[in-house]
Amino acid sequence: MESVRSDTAAPPAGDSALTVKILVAGGFGVGKTTLVSAVSEIRPLRTEEALTEKSIGIDDTSAVASKTTTTVAMDFGRITLPNGLVLFVFGTPGQDRFWFMWDELAKGALGAVVLVDTRRLADCFASVDYFERRGVPFIIGVNRFDGAAPHTADQVRDALDLPSDIPVVSCDVRDREDAKQILITLVEHIMRRMS
Amino acid sequence: MDGTEGEGPHGTGWYDDAAGPVVRPYALTRGRTHYEGGEFDLVALIVTAEAAPEADGALPHAPWAPEPEHEMILDLCRTPLSVAEIASDLELPLGVVRVLLGDLLDHSLIGVRRPAPVAQFPSERVLKEVIDGIRAL
């Protein structure tokens, strides 16, 4: 039934847009939105998703009036590459309770940058766990905060118990060149995983 | 219910100030929270369809009165725009925007360009293009 097989193959190229998505994760206040701003051609936008009882996954909704929701915000930027590709960089919601939103973000993502503040290393554990379990390629970006003692890449890698092939890059997320380099390092890492 | 919004059964709120305000966004969609016809990816590009030629009053579907938000989407998407950007521009939650997009798609008023399936079928060529593109910024 070859004709059937060809019908169920990848959608025709004309139907898809060359948009790709990269995620920036990490603890609250680690610089995710700053990194997004540093590379985005537009002021970072904010989109919101309404949380419903279903997304929260709790049984007791007595505290929530019917059809009433709260929202979770995500900041994102857009980069139109000279070759026509459109790259979206999404900052993940900082709070752990918004896991349901992570699934939506991770779906179809090329990979992720997990930003780390070495003074609050534990804040990134949840992100690292998530991407490891989902098989989403990721790298670690160590944001250089004033007043943070410098750590070597190996110290951070050991502390996070990461395999040696996962890049750990020091960066200043406010710096556009640093921000570009960290995205490039991620995509190079994804290519290495393929070969 | 003791009327204290945000308090769960154990007295700990499952949402708080950081989670944003409590809103009623689905009033706009008349309570519909899902589009039955499929999914709109966060980075799918939406483009307003070319105006169909007037069909001498012989339109097969019932007349439809779009909400102002439908018109705003059609206005915005004259140049292709991602679902996430539409939600951001309209300051509406993604779920609401997806229902509105579903209405527009049902009436053939928009086209949808799904994102390239690069994550499932990574192509070295596309990845190289991404790297070259970022370098050239």
Q: What is the ipTM of this complex?
A: 0.77
Band (pLDDT 50/70/90 cuts) for residue B38 is confident
Which three-class secondary structure state does DSSP give residue B114? strand
* Residue A63 touches chain B, beta carbons under 8 Å: yes
Q: Where are the domains of chain B?
A: 23-51+65-135
Which three-class secondary structure state does DSSP give residue B126? helix
Put simply, the answer to whether B117 touches A11 (Cβ < 8 Å) is yes
Are A177 and A39 in contact by the 8 Å Cβ rule? The answer is no
pLDDT of residue B61: 56
Are A17 and B80 in contact by the 8 Å Cβ rule? The answer is yes
Q: Percent of chain B having pLDDT more than 90?
A: 40
State mean pLDDT over B60-79: 87
List all residues 6 or more positions away from A189 whose beta carbon is below 8 Å from its beta carbon: A111, A137, A139, A166, A167
Q: Return the residue in A53, A55, A71 with the most chain B beta carbons within 10 A, the one to mutate for interface testing.
A: A71
Where is pLDDT greater, at B4 or A120?
A: A120
pLDDT of residue B24: 64
Where is pLDDT greater, at A15 or B16?
A: B16
Are A31 and A173 in contact by the 8 Å Cβ rule? The answer is yes
Which run of H or of E encompasses B83? helix B83-90
State mean pLDDT over B107-129: 82
- In eight-state DSSP terms, residue B33 is -
Distances (CA, A) of A92 to A6, A7, A47, A100: 37, 36, 11, 11
pLDDT of residue B73: 97
Closest-CA residue to A88 (of A109, A59, A67): A109
Where is pLDDT greater, at B75 or B38?
A: B75
Beta strand A70-80 pairing with A86-91: antiparallel
- How remote is the C-alpha of A97 from its chain's centroid? 16
Distance from the A162 Cα atom to the nearest Cα atom in chain B, whole angstroms: 22
Q: Return the residue in A8, A15, A16 with the most chain B beta carbons within 10 A, the one to mutate for interface testing.
A: A16
* Residue A119 touches chain B, beta carbons under 8 Å: no
pTM check: above 0.80: no
Top CATH class of B23-51+65-135 equals mainly alpha
Is a pLDDT exceeding 80 seen at residue B3? no
Q: What is the dihedral of CA A25, A85, B105, B66, to 10 degrees?
A: 80
Band (pLDDT 50/70/90 cuts) for residue B54 is low
Spatial separation of the C-alpha atoms in residues A168 and A166, rounded to whole Å: 7
pLDDT of residue B90: 92
Chain B residue with CA closest to A48: the answer is B93
Are A109 and A137 in contact by the 8 Å Cβ rule? The answer is no
A19-23, A56-60, B15-19, B100-104 — which is least confidently predicted? Answer: A56-60
Are B85 and B108 in contact by the 8 Å Cβ rule? The answer is no
Q: What is the dihedral of CA A22, A28, A34, A36, to 10 degrees?
A: 20
Domains along chain A?
20-194 (3.40.50.300)
Distance from the B34 Cα atom to the nearest Cα atom in chain A, whole angstroms: 12
Is a pLDDT exceeding 90 seen at residue B69? yes
**Which residue bears the tokens 């009036």?**
A65
**Which residue bears the tokens 């752990």?**
A96
User: pLDDT by residue for chain A (195 residues), tens digit each?
Assistant: 333 333 333 333 444 568 889 999 998 888 998 999 999 888 888 887 776 544 444 444 444 344 344 567 788 999 988 878 889 999 987 666 667 788 888 988 999 999 999 988 898 998 999 999 999 999 999 998 777 777 888 899 999 999 999 999 999 999 999 999 999 999 999 999 887
Are A9 and A48 in contact by the 8 Å Cβ rule? The answer is no
A40-54, A130-144, B3-17, B38-52 — which is least confidently predicted? Answer: B3-17
State mean pLDDT over B69-92: 93
SS3 of chain A: the string is: CHHHHHHCCCCCHHHEECEEEEEEEECCCCCHHHHHHHHCCCCCEEEEEEECHHHHCCCCCCCCCCCCEEEEEEEEEEEECCCCCEEEEEECCCCHHHHHHHHHHHCCCCEEEEEECHHHHHHHHHHHHHHHHHCCCEEEEEECCCCCCCCCHHHHHHHHCCCCCCCEEEECCCCHHHHHHHHHHHHHHHHHHHC
